[in-house]
Structure 1
């Protein structure tokens, strides 16, 4: 595909485009099982698989199709090298905390490789080194310290100045024997193995209510109820949050562009730099063997802030500057959740529960984190010895004094959007000002309305308040969806939920197109 191709790159992830679709039935009647897992991504499916293999009867509920959420839009690295984490872990949690973190992810990598072999999964699994690098000489000592801390934590890590990238670096941490794979093919193999063992998967089944007790009750959008001894919330961002984790989670989006390059020009290994709003580079095999797919991630940003198209332009320019032969064929976006203390939450959902569990906050490393979560949660529910890192990831851990800064910063960010967005005037004066293929927030009838004009000129308007906690949504001009800047919920232009924590759609609104009908900005919701 040339730069002049009017079609442009495919607005879909390669993982989705290169794997089969699923057509599993929705839940249409009440059900009773040993355990119910909510969420059909890598954390949910790994948890369900481990439970079923341990003899626990499982039902998995997925609001869309399995593997079509965050896992279907990842860069799919199975690595224990998580940018710059080990020097920080050693400082904050001591050498033992860093060692446990490394051990949990190294074991997850090997467990995933074992699962691929056990299931006969053709998941394009490749053993490659992983690198964290910098180009600035000012940060070389930081990289040296990270290499030392990672090695001390048990990783096969070293400091290097030479990599497989076609441009020079000032220094890098190299960790041997990491994995990259095709996440959708891996999940589809897991799903097949799960159902063959008697597990049940229900697609297009959105969970909208959870009653926590000695028997958990999960209510679905259709009204069907699942009763289970234990429930796992593995929806990336928790759709139920009695533990108030939303105060300790910060959503973050990153853009991905993929380009076909000659196989001999594709860098061998997985690379990431914290510089330049993050740049992550890897490649994946393409059919035929003559080319590989170069996958570049970057332009990290909070949902609902700034133009996404402008960020794609920056990422594309970076790729063409470093890989001139790259022919961009795919582009997509990924969403992650960062915790205030940089460690995931995996375990009991809150201090008052014995039967509800959660897995969230992987900070961009959900592939190894999802596999790790499945094993950890299965040990809670099915019994048996707990992993040594159980306490490290316990969601019930109290925020430390040193976490107050990040916690307050996140709440200030949410407050800024929750209050500040309401004090501003409308993004446009009226729906008449919205060009085709775009959207904006307009005040009409005493309400903030999210209005979208399609290419034919028809306008669709919905309530602009996110149904999670009421922040005003913003328009993503690249994916043409509404997204909440506070907690990352995403909605289609018709208001339907694409991504939680919201579980209810945005209500439809009638909106005039005349500028004379503009509301007084002082009249607030």
Structure 2
């Protein structure tokens, strides 16, 4: 595989195309709960609420489980790199215990649904590992193993693991899981609709007025009146509590290809070293082979040379798994909270019936299932042991993590100001398949030259908060480095928090 080839859809989307698109919302609607977003968090929330007897409508801007959830590596584990020692130090051991319990119960809930709905989604139980190769970082892993055990996980510290290269130290938690996320969610969606839930695709939400009832408006003009509203759009499209100051977008690259079963390392692996490396395999074909999935090279959207990053990730995979045919490149996006823990609960301090689920930090599979159960408990008036842990309105921990928050906002400010001062290249220098932001008078234009040489010209200002977008050459998209909104080369909205496309312009 040449990493510079154009990146397409993920393996999960390509192998589970799903039913024909569901129609967009065309008329006003009254429901108990409106769920905005049909990724794993939104769909699990909608399914749990429907099962609890509420009338639910899911509004999805594109297709079900084709966004972030459709591009994940799909690991279901409670071992989230080095989180337990962090929680023990920045909060307390009880917070770590509640985190471990909530994530572990999410895995068990997923298996319950696989069995109950008889979902064919390549469900497998596997051990999860966090490892380091640098001897200077062994103490970090040893501390994580200790903290994870204190939190209630069956964690062990090891110096040898089944990877095809030596490690200095690792923590292992057995009996975790992996699956095909889109097949899982398509089955959940079918059951949701059968139970009376409503689902509308290609329905872009652009307004929210809180009240009793709340009113959700869409770009088609239709309005949904709902007693409760859940914003599950990965990065919140509505931010009534300045959550964007406590969230940072992170993009990661994925490469995959078939390998002989003998090269399967039999587990799910991640290291914080080498700009992240994550490894696992999945069933592939009828001949017993496995699909090797390698993730890493994380970066802020709109920064860095993405094709070169694909080259580095491919070289790493070939070095450690000789003979792998890397034919499937794609990319995914995560949202990191500045204080480590996802934000799931009431949208802002004054909210009474609006909720949010965001900031899963790369662990959205267990986090999304957990969010569905937590939000259902809150909406139906039941207590949940970990609702305070995930409460988006928390301020004490946000203050403790002030350095991380300030660092994230300094990065946003640097792009907002610095990108406007950067010299702009001439249009003639843009090669076919590439793009650049150029200057036109006092304006900045996003210009892409397609493979035939035609120019596509857009405003370079992100409609969210006005940062300048940058071109991702591998995926051929425009990306906002401030908050992660993404757009196609014709300006179409691919990913929020923006709710409008990039306007067309003329040279």
Instruction: Provide the residue aligned with 1:505 in structure 2.
Output: 501
Partners of 1:383 and 1:57 in 2: how far apart? 16
Q: Name which of 7, 10, 13 aligns with 2:10.
A: 13
Cα 1:8–1:451 change in 2 (3 A) is closer
Deviation at 1:263, TM superposition (A): 1.2
Instruction: Provide the residue aligned with 1:419 in structure 2.
Output: 417
SS at match of 1:82: coil
SS at match of 1:164: coil
Deviation at 1:290, TM superposition (A): 2.4
Partners of 1:38 and 1:390 in 2: how far apart? 21
Cα 1:479–1:10 change in 2 (3 A) is closer
Instruction: Provide the residue aligned with 1:296 in structure 2.
Output: 294
SS at match of 1:388: coil
Q: Name which of 449, 454, 458 aligns with 2:454.
A: 458
Q: Deviations over 1:416-449 (max 9, x none)?
A: 01011111221x12x2221111100011243100
Q: Name which of 187, 190, 193 aligns with 2:191.
A: 193
Instruction: Provide the residue aligned with 1:469 in structure 2.
Output: 465
SS at match of 2:35: strand
User: Is the 2:203–2:220 contact (alpha carbons within 8 Å) kept by the matching residues of 1?
Assistant: yes
User: Is the 1:261–1:325 contact (alpha carbons within 8 Å) kept by the matching residues of 2?
Assistant: yes
Deviation at 1:21, TM superposition (A): 2.9
Instruction: Provide the residue aligned with 1:245 in structure 2.
Output: 243
Partners of 1:101 and 1:457 in 2: how far apart? 52
Matches within 5 A, 1:405-416: 405-416=403-414
Q: Deviations over 1:383-432 (max 9, x none)?
A: 23x22110000001115432110111111100001011111221x12x22
User: Is the 1:417–1:486 contact (alpha carbons within 8 Å) kept by the matching residues of 2?
Assistant: yes
Q: Name which of 431, 436, 451 aligns with 2:432.
A: 436
User: Is the 1:16–1:72 contact (alpha carbons within 8 Å) kept by the matching residues of 2?
Assistant: yes
Q: Deviations over 1:192-234 (max 9, x none)?
A: 0100000000000010000111211000110100000000000
User: Is the 2:158–2:170 contact (alpha carbons within 8 Å) kept by the matching residues of 1?
Assistant: yes
Q: Deviations over 1:164-217 (max 9, x none)?
A: 211111111010110000000011011001000000000000100001112110
User: Is the 1:133–1:271 contact (alpha carbons within 8 Å) kept by the matching residues of 2?
Assistant: yes
Instruction: Provide the residue aligned with 2:346 in structure 1.
Output: 348
Q: Name which of 326, 349, 362 aligns with 2:324.
A: 326
Q: TM-score scaled to structure 2, two decimals? A: 0.98
Deviation at 1:8, TM superposition (A): 6.0
SS at match of 2:79: coil
Partners of 1:247 and 1:401 in 2: how far apart? 12
Partners of 2:418 and 2:317 in 1: how far apart? 36
After TM superposition, where is structure 1 displaced by more than 4 Å over at least 4 residues in a row? 6-10
Cα 1:297–1:163 change in 2 (3 A) is same
User: Is the 1:56–1:382 contact (alpha carbons within 8 Å) kept by the matching residues of 2?
Assistant: no
Q: Deviations over 1:80-101 (max 9, x none)?
A: 0000011111111111110000
SS at match of 1:334: strand
Q: Tell me how large the CA RMSD over aligned residues is.
A: 1.3
Partners of 2:429 and 2:6 in 1: how far apart? 28
Instruction: Provide the residue aligned with 1:32 in structure 2.
Output: 30
Partners of 2:46 and 2:281 in 1: how far apart? 30
Q: Higher mean Cα deviation, 462-471 or 264-273? A: 264-273
Instruction: Provide the residue aligned with 1:222 in structure 2.
Output: 220
User: Is the 1:362–1:369 contact (alpha carbons within 8 Å) kept by the matching residues of 2?
Assistant: yes
Cα 1:416–1:199 change in 2 (3 A) is same
Instruction: Provide the residue aligned with 1:478 in structure 2.
Output: 474
Instruction: Provide the residue aligned with 1:172 in structure 2.
Output: 170
SS at match of 1:368: helix
Structure 2: runs of 5+ lacking an equivalent: none
Q: TM-score scaled to structure 1, two decimals? A: 0.95
Q: Higher mean Cα deviation, 113-122 or 363-372? A: 113-122
Matches within 5 A, 1:116-265: 116-265=114-263
Q: Name which of 91, 94, 100 aligns with 1:93.
A: 91
Partners of 2:12 and 2:197 in 1: how far apart? 25
Instruction: Provide the residue aligned with 1:285 in structure 2.
Output: 283
Instruction: Provide the residue aligned with 1:522 in structure 2.
Output: none
Q: Deviations over 1:44-79 (max 9, x none)?
A: 000000000000100000000000000000000000
Q: Name which of 386, 391, 408 aligns with 2:388.
A: 391
SS at match of 1:327: coil
Partners of 1:173 and 1:83 in 2: how far apart? 9
Partners of 1:349 and 1:198 in 2: how far apart? 26
Q: Deviations over 1:228-287 (max 9, x none)?
A: 000000000001111110010000011000011001211101000010000000000012
Instruction: Provide the residue aligned with 2:492 in structure 1.
Output: 496
User: Is the 1:31–1:225 contact (alpha carbons within 8 Å) kept by the matching residues of 2?
Assistant: yes
Instruction: Provide the residue aligned with 2:310 in structure 1.
Output: 312
User: Is the 2:7–2:475 contact (alpha carbons within 8 Å) kept by the matching residues of 1?
Assistant: no
Partners of 1:45 and 1:338 in 2: how far apart? 21
Deviation at 1:9, TM superposition (A): 8.4
Instruction: Provide the residue aligned with 1:516 in structure 2.
Output: none
